[in-house]
Amino acid sequence: MKVLLLGSGAREHTIAWRLLHSPRLTKLWVADGNAGTAAIATNLPIKPDDIDGIIAAAMSLEIDLVVVGPELPLSLGIVDQLASLGIAAFGPSKAAARIETSKSFALEVMKEANVACPDFWVFQDESSALRFLKGRSGPMVVKADGLAAGKGVILCATAKEAAEAVSACMGERAFGDAGDTVVIEEMLTGPEVSVFAFCDGQHISSLAAACDYKRLEDGNNGPNTGGMGSFSPPGFWNDELAHQVEHDILRPVVETMAINGYPYKGVLYAGLMLTPDGPKVLEFNCRLGDPETQVVLPRLTTDPLNVMQACVDGNLHQVPVIWDDQCYVGVVLASGGYPGGYQTGFAISGAETDSDDTTLFHAATRLESDGYATQLVTSGGRVMTVVGRGDSLAEAKAKAYDRVRKISFEGAIFRTDIAGGVEETITWPNR
């Protein structure tokens, strides 16, 4: 199969790396990729959200399958447009992608499907939201309804903080059009887990779970980021919990979306909180997560092209999706100053080769030539993810950090406590 992969982060490098192991793959292109994908595939100078450019490339290259990594092209309807031209694409339609692109839509789907989620209130104007908050107290979550690059969720300890968050979203337009509508939710408590399943519009695969670290600094301190590390599988993930999530959350959502005329195909990503009352949905995403992909996809033993094609064709129930029992820990190396201002173009050393038990997935990297030699340099905030593999999380963690400390670039930062917190010691059920 000739495959075109869309995206340029560590998630996409991981997908490309996993596709490379498929005997069905004959040629792989990535739009627009990074230095890591350039080493194993052919990068194209086309942005993932350049819909016309993607379509033209898919047609000229006679692509058999387009694999969509990030959410933005999905929100623009890339799958629909490719399908109208007879080009298969792995990912949800624009209508189904609303499970991520509109938080209010996702909550209404969950309400209809009788899926456990926070109590919520939706507002289209600032004054109504502020009036509502005058009668509230206690912690709340304010969310920009649309896509906000993972930054549109504000945790508020008081109603006053919530009002300030609403004004930032709707009055100051801190998140642009994403804040035209805001969702106010009750704040849930408990450990978080990311759960992934392949879907073909009707059937869902076996589940894979991971935990990620959103804060910049050790101890979950500092500002929110796109993710500083992850591990899979969590120690608390067991057959009972997997069965509960599948039957009480994922299946009802997929069935409801199919009944309502927008069947979900692709990867469904549920961000859950394990509350004292059971698992509840914090959010859904319409694609694989980053940095979770880097520790989840290495566990997939089934040919990924068989799985993706089955999702497109609607026969996923005929393809057993198997995850191995090995443990994986991913540590993100980022540029100094991230997630605020940072400089790029710094030379990276120590990233040349993988070992049997570690893999390096590039994100913000590029190759720079001075006419005599080519040098790997940084090109963004989250530069790369180092993944360690082991029979236990402790072993995987040790291997990941051993490799991390051999990589250097000016200003490099990383957390030292990935897979070192309470997440690995939680037992479930916890009630």
User: Per-residue b/e over 375-385, b at no fewer than 16 CB within 10 Å?
Assistant: ebbbbbbbbbb
Topology of 192-324 in CATH?
D-amino Acid Aminotransferase; Chain A, domain 1 (3.30.470)
CATH 3.90.600.10 fits 327-423, yes or no: yes
- Taking each helix axis from N to C end, the angle separating 10-19 and 304-313, rounded to the nearest 10 degrees, works out to 100
Amino acid at 150: G
Residue extent(s) of CATH 3.40.50.20 domains in the chain: 2-91
Each residue's pLDDT tens digit, 282-334: 999 999 999 999 999 999 999 999 999 999 999 999 999 999 999 999 999 99
> CB under 8 Å to 179, separation ≥6 — which residues?
144, 145, 146, 148, 152, 168, 169, 170, 173
Mean per-residue pLDDT for 43-64?
98
CATH 3.40.50.20 fits 2-91, yes or no: yes
Model pLDDT, residue 431: 41
Each residue's pLDDT tens digit, 112-169: 999 999 888 999 999 999 999 998 888 999 999 988 877 788 999 999 999 999 999 9
For residues 244 and 250, give the distance between their C-alpha atoms in angstroms, rounded to a whole number. Answer: 9
Half-sphere exposure of 172 (CA within 13 A, CB side): 8
pLDDT at 220 over 60: yes
pLDDT at 428 over 60: no
Residue with tokens 């392949």: 198
Each residue's pLDDT tens digit, 353-374: 777 899 999 999 999 987 788 9
pLDDT at 424 over 80: no
pLDDT at 423 over 70: no
pTM given for the model: 0.94
Give the CA angle between residues 366, 371, 373 to the nearest 5°.
60
Say if CB 268 and CB 99 are below 8 A apart.
yes
For residues 52 and 367, give the distance between their C-alpha atoms in angstroms, rounded to a whole number. Answer: 27
Among 247, 286, 290, smallest CA distance to 270 is for 286
For 108, the 3-state DSSP assignment is helix
What is the Cα Rg of the chain in Å? 21
Put residue 312 in one of left, alpha, beta given phi > 0 → left and psi -120 to 50 → alpha. alpha
For residues 417 and 424, give the distance between their C-alpha atoms in angstroms, rounded to a whole number. Answer: 12
Residue extent(s) of CATH 3.90.600.10 domains in the chain: 327-423
Model pLDDT, residue 294: 98
User: Per-residue b/e over 125-144, b at no fewer than 16 CB within 10 Å?
Assistant: ebeebbebbeeeeeebbbbb
Q: How is residue 169 annotated by DSSP? A: I
Residue extent(s) of CATH 3.30.470.20 domains in the chain: 192-324
For residues 418 and 291, give the distance between their C-alpha atoms in angstroms, rounded to a whole number. Answer: 12
Model pLDDT, residue 372: 80
When the pLDDT of each residue in the chain is averaged and rounded to a whole number, the result is: 94
Percent of the chain with pLDDT over 90: 89
